[in-house]
């Protein structure tokens, strides 16, 4: 009777037949029973596996059932290991590859996740959901072309797959094609109005396109739909960060981290807020932790590199930018900042090469042209320096700062009329910019034109820096008093303000005919100014004009 039953029984019964009575008390019965705790099922399935007496089919099911509980407990390493055993037993088990890929995604082993999804696609090339899942991994690793291809293929196979529209919307958003991104998220929401991920994606696209109020409404609705969606909190934190609402941003990042402490991205976002609010040590701690969680996150290395750069540690900054580029070879932002670091170190050829690479990746990158202009100026190549700002202005004709920078370059090239024209345009675009007012005053005095500085002060903030420098040019205060006003409790702020005080005091001394004072003050600026500041290269140009080797 028993032997006949064993011959026709299912997998669970087959396992029962092969085990001793003692084992069956906790073994196969609880391994496959519907109402047992995760720990009991894991223990039971482990016992089944360790007997070594279960046939292939039963053994595979024991691994699957145990892996399911590991996934529920978010023990992704053990889940992946169990599905590896299933795959050894059944190399054509497509589902095993898919679930192992899911586990590896959460483990941030993105290469293995892609490999497993790819194998699942080879076994069945018509499953839209697998293309969508692989697209999300490509999106996570900034491989936007492949993410787009997979999303498009998923939509082709299943036009009602809302996840595919969400992933393609993410690609469009990363490419800056916000209208197309929003259209895809709209379509996903029409297919499934309760999918909070579509609202998060649409909110991110709206935020990046400057529609902050609409973005906030999207994030709020996503959180209403799923209060445990950490990406909704992290994305809303990003939006608050863009609005400089740092306390609210940190609160949202904290909530995202509480919900999923293994996701490095909220740490990167919170680190950025700490950095921008002057809490540099806390920023570095967050970047360090993000990198521990995912050493291949390019943004974590990039932002930590920027933090080191601003702490005047160019070498460590370059190390991080190298890692950011290794993780994402198309990270133009990392190339720009590595170029800045090489510029600070005086390695001008490498700086230019990095700016060139950033421009090759995106010919609309204004920061890359501006950075390369600075490198050309440091090399004494004013023709190319001016040409790069021509391009910046072509890309953004409403940038007051760009006209100011080109005006300064025209001054050092001896083109005073062009310099005045650019500085006048800069003032027209932003009449509240004190630096433009100061540079226009310098050029006007060299051309023996009447001063307009006193009239300009009505539109300037005469309380905050560089108001003391403006007063110095108006003879309302002394250079010594302006230097004293440059002192600040933040060493980085003080360094920048002292740099500007010395440089502009040197310009004033030069105009008054005090060449010795001008040489001394320009020398201080050339020595102490950050090398990315226009005052640094301008001080060197003035020293050269005075016959002094800077």
The verdict on residue 113 lying in a domain is yes
Q: Is the pLDDT of residue 167 over 50?
A: yes
The verdict on residue 326 lying in a domain is no
110-159 confidence digits (pLDDT tens): 999 999 999 999 999 999 999 999 999 999 999 999 999 999 999 999 99
DSSP string, 386-404: HHHHHHHHHH-TT-HHHHH
Q: Is the pLDDT of residue 7 over 50?
A: no
**CB-based contact 53:6 (threshold 8 Å):** no
257-298 confidence digits (pLDDT tens): 999 999 999 999 999 999 999 899 999 999 999 999 999 999
How many C-beta atoms surround the C-beta of residue 440 within 10 A? 25
The verdict on residue 256 lying in a domain is no
28-71 confidence digits (pLDDT tens): 688 988 889 999 999 999 999 998 888 999 999 999 999 999 99
Asked if 14 and 133 sit in the same domain, the reply is yes
Cβ partners under 8 Å of residue 311, min gap 6: 280, 492
Asked if 56 and 119 sit in the same domain, the reply is yes
CA 17, CA 129: separation in Å to the nearest integer? 38
**pLDDT recorded at residue 184:** 98
The verdict on residue 311 lying in a domain is no
**Range of the structural domain that residue 439 is part of:** 399-460
* Per-residue three-class SS string for 493-525: HHHHHHHHHHHHHHHHHHHCCCHHHHHHHHHHH
Of residues 374 and 3, the one with the higher pLDDT is: 374
Type and span of the H or E element at 229? none
Q: Is the pLDDT of residue 23 over 70?
A: no
**pLDDT recorded at residue 490:** 87
Asked if 129 and 13 sit in the same domain, the reply is yes
Alpha carbon distances (Å) from 89 to 25, 65, 92, 394: 27, 15, 9, 62
Asked if 404 and 508 sit in the same domain, the reply is no
Asked if 486 and 537 sit in the same domain, the reply is yes
Task: Please say which residue of 139, 174, 206 terminates a domain.
Answer: 139
**CB-based contact 196:166 (threshold 8 Å):** no
Alpha carbon distances (Å) from 342 to 43, 67, 222, 532, 541: 57, 49, 43, 10, 20
Ramachandran quadrant class, 380 (left: phi over 0; alpha: psi -120 to 50; beta: rest): left
The verdict on residue 385 lying in a domain is no
Q: Is the pLDDT of residue 10 over 80?
A: no
Mean pLDDT for 81-85 is 98
CA 28, CA 15: separation in Å to the nearest integer? 6
**CB-based contact 474:454 (threshold 8 Å):** yes
Asked if 20 and 115 sit in the same domain, the reply is yes
Type and span of the H or E element at 143? none
The model's pTM is 0.87
Task: Please say which residue of 74, 109, 139 terminates a domain.
Answer: 139
Q: Kindly compute the dihedral angle of the four CA atoms of residues 429, 430, 433, 435, in this order, to the nearest 10 degrees.
A: 0
The verdict on residue 225 lying in a domain is no
Q: How many domains does the chain have?
A: 3
CA 530, CA 510: separation in Å to the nearest integer? 22
Q: Cβ-count burial of 158 within 10 angstroms (0-12 exposed, 13-18 middle, 19+ buried)?
A: middle
The verdict on residue 414 lying in a domain is yes
The verdict on residue 313 lying in a domain is no
Q: How confident is the model at residue 492 (pLDDT cuts 50, 70, 90)?
A: confident
What's 430's domain CATH number?
A: 1.25.40
121-132 confidence digits (pLDDT tens): 999 999 999 999
Asked if 446 and 499 sit in the same domain, the reply is no
Task: Please say which residue of 421, 440, 460 terminates a domain.
Answer: 460
Q: Is omega for the bond preceding 441 within 30 degrees of 0, making it cis?
A: no
CA 417, CA 402: separation in Å to the nearest integer? 17
């Amino acid at each position: 009777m028993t032997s006949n039953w064993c011959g026709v029984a299912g997998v669970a019964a087959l396992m029962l037949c092969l085990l001793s009575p003692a084992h069956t008390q906790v073994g196969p019965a609880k391994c496959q029973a519907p109402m047992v705790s995760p720990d009991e099922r894991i223990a039971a399935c482990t016992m089944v596996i360790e007997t070594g007496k279960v046939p292939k089919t039963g053994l595979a099911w024991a691994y699957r059932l145990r892996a399911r509980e590991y996934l529920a407990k978010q023990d992704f390493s053990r889940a992946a290991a169990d599905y590896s055993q299933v795959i050894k037993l059944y190399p054509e088990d497509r589902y095993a590859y898919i679930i192992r890929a899911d586990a590896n995604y959460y483990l941030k082993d993105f290469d293995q996740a892609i490999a497993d999804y790819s194998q699942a696609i080879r076994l069945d090339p018509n499953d839209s959901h697998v293309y969508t899942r692989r697209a999300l991994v490509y999106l996570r690793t900034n491989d936007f072309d492949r993410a787009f291809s997979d999303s498009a293929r998923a939509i082709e196979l299943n036009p009602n797959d809302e996840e595919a529209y969400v992933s393609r919307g993410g690609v469009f958003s990363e490419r800056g094609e916000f209208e197309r991104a929003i259209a895809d998220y709209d379509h996903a929401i029409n297919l499934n109005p309760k999918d909070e991920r579509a609202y998060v994606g649409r909110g991110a696209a709206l935020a990046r396109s400057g529609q902050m109020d609409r973005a906030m409404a999207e994030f709020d609705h996503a959180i209403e739909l799923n209060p445990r969606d950490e990406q909704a909190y992290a994305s809303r934190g990003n939006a608050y960060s863009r609005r400089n609402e740092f306390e609210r941003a940190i609160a949202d990042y904290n909530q995202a981290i509480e919900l999923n402490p293994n996701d490095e991205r909220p740490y990167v976002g919170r680190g950025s807020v700490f950095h921008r609010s002057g809490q540099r040590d806390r920023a570095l701690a967050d970047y360090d932790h993000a990198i521990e969680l995912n050493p291949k996150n390019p943004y974590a290395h990039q932002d930590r590199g920027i933090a080191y750069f601003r702490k005047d540690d160019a070498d460590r900054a370059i190390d991080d930018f190298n890692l950011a580029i290794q993780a994402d070879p198309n990270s133009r932002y990392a190339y720009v900042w590595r170029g800045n670091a090489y510029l600070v170190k005086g390695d001008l050829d490498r700086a230019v090469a990095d700016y060139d690479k950033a421009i090759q990746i995106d010919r609309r990158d204004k920061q890359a042209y501006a950075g390369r202009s600075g490198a050309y100026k440091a090399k004494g190549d004013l023709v190319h320096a001016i040409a790069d700002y021509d391009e910046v202005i072509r890309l953004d004709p409403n940038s007051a700062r760009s006209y100011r920078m080109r005006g300064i370059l025209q001054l050092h090239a001896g083109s005073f009329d062009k310099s005045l024209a650019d500085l006048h345009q800069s003032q027209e675009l932003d009449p509240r910019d004190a630096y433009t007012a100061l540079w226009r005053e310098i050029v006007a005095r060299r051309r023996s034109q009447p001063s307009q500085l006193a009239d300009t002060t009505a539109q300037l903030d005469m309380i905050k820096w560089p108001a003391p420098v403006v007063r110095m040019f108006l003879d309302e205060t002394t250079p010594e008093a302006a230097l004293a006003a440059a002192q600040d409790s933040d060493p980085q702020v003080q360094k920048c303000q002292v740099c500007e005080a010395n440089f502009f005091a040197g310009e004033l001394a030069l105009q008054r005919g005090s060449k010795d004072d001008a040489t001394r003050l320009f020398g201080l600026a050339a020595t102490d100014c950050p090398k990315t500041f226009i005052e640094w290269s301008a001080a060197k140009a003035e020293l050269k004009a005075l016959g002094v080797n800077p």
